[in-house]
């Protein structure tokens, strides 16, 4: 299995300030087609999980442009340009190069 490791475990952010979450995989997620098979998801309490980013950097439909994904190979980052109240929740990275596996999650809360 590909092991996904996220950091930090939790993040307390002042509204309007930026935030960054790191995700590292135990193997490269770069497919032979040139795409990194890495997604980011947001789980808000009591709501359906939401796809934020696919293929490492492709913002999903309806996702605000304050969310951005970067990285390639084994190291990836999700950045929130200016955190808003609606961004509170648990963020997960997931690899889909092989049988999908998720990172342990990062809790984002407001200061």
Partner 1 sequence: QVLLQESGPGLLTPSETLSLTCTVPDDSIRTSYWSWVRQSAGKGLEWIGRVFAGGKSDYNPSLKSRVTMSLDTSKNHFFLTLRSVTAADAAVYYCARVYGSGYDSFYGMDVWGQGTAVIVSS
Binding site for partner 1 (CB under 8 A): 31, 37, 39, 41, 43, 46-51, 54, 60-61, 92, 94, 96-102, 104-105
DSSP 47: S
Pick 14 or 93: Cβ nearer partner 1: 93
Q: How far is the CB of 96 from partner 1 (least distance, A)?
A: 4
Q: How far is the CB of 63 from partner 1 (least distance, A)?
A: 11
Q: How far is the CB of 49 from partner 1 (least distance, A)?
A: 5
* Token pair recorded at residue 11: 């993040």
């Amino acid at each position: 299995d590909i092991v996904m490791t996220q950091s930090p475990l939790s993040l307390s952010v002042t509204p309007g300030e930026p935030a960054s979450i790191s995700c590292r995989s135990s193997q490269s997620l770069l497919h032979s087609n040139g795409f990194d098979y890495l997604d980011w998801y947001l789980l808000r309490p009591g709501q359906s999980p939401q796809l934020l980013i696919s293929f490492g950097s492709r913002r999903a439909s309806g996702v605000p442009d304050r969310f951005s994904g970067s990285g390639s190979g084994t190291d990836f980052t999700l950045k929130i340009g200016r955190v808003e109240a609606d961004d509170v929740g648990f963020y997960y990275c997931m690899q889909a190069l092989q049988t999908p596996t998720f990172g342990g999650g990062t809790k984002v809360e407001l200061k």
